[in-house]
Structure 1
Amino acid sequence: MSGPIISVSGVAVRRLGTILVVLLLGLAVVSSAGQQGERRHVDDTKLLRGDLWVKLTPDVKLAYLWGAANVVEVERQLMAEIPELRVENFSAKVAEADHGMTFNELMAVVDRYYREHPDRLDVSVLRVLWDETVVPRIKTGIAGQPLQR
């Protein structure tokens, strides 16, 4: 494991391994992952969106990403231990996209997206991460469905 990469409210966070960092995207239960012709709609109203993201401090943004990563990591570990849970779900797709980005790099992706698309502040943070960092690196979407790129 490498040394500290960020500080969240004074707590050093170590690089969590490439899969864990990638898995933070797993909460973005997004519609681009599993369509065939028509887009499935995911209610983004309960997810953190750009209108609030742009007002958050870097520490709060990193804490959000870290929390999301922990939730998805639990699912990944359960899938590793319980064969019945091994499916091409969102977490599996995020792991497939393993790009080894740090939380700081992921935060920069989101910040850049909202800076370049101020008219899209209604898009969820997790949707941005899915579209920008996962979709370009996977061959099929959730449950093997075609991706809309």
Structure 2
Amino acid sequence: MRRPRVIWISVVGLLLIAFAGSRILESAEPAHQLLTGQLWQTMSPDAKVAFVWGIGSLVEYERAQVGASSMGTKSFIPFLVKGLKGKSIDEVVRLIDTYYQAHPDQIQRPVLDVIFQAVVLPTLTVETEGGMAK
């Protein structure tokens, strides 16, 4: 008589542990979110500089690894390389801040997209072949 009860309690216990474990794993999955203007506006100046510095480091790493040969790919890095060339980190931060101040309706727009809109695209021109160049 005790054996079926022990088995039943063990099964219920294992089900509870499995359910709790699945909830923990579910909550631990990273949410894929991009940094938007909403958080950007609350960040300290040092955090903003660190973010732009990270983007710049990524661009420099890609440029050093691939070089100009990546121009034929679908990578956005060559455009970042050209658009960020000669700009200081403080200037990029200022341009991002200015963009969000001028476009408060676009507060949910990702900061990386704003870097393209406010920093990169204004420095690029269309070539006769249809590609973008500085």
Name the TM tier (shorter chain).
Answer: 0.5 to 0.7
Aligned to 2:40: 53
| 1:96 is aligned to 2:82 | yes
TM-score, normalization by structure 1? 0.57
| Unaligned stretches of 5+ residues in structure 2 | 1-31
Retained in 2: the 8 A contact 1:50–1:125?
Answer: yes
Q: AA paired with 2:99?
A: Y
1:138 — aligned with what? 124
**Higher helix residue share:** 2
TM-score (norm 2): 0.62
- The structure with higher relative contact order (CA 8 Å, sep 6+) is 1
Verify the 8 A CA contact 1:79 1:86 in the aligned structure 2: no
Of 93, 98, 107, which aligns to 1:112? 98
Deviation at residue 63 of structure 1 after TM alignment: 0.5
- Partners of 2:82 and 2:52 lie apart in 1 by 19
| Higher radius of gyration, 1 or 2 | 2
Identity percentage of aligned residues: 31
Gaps of 5+ in 1: 1-44
Q: CA deviation at 1:98?
A: 5.0
Q: Which runs of 4+ in 1 moved over 4 A?
A: none
Q: C-alpha deviations, 1:98-143, integer Å up to 9, x for none?
A: 55111111101111111122111101111111011111222359xx
- Per the alignment, residue 87 of structure 1 pairs with 72
Aligned residues: 98
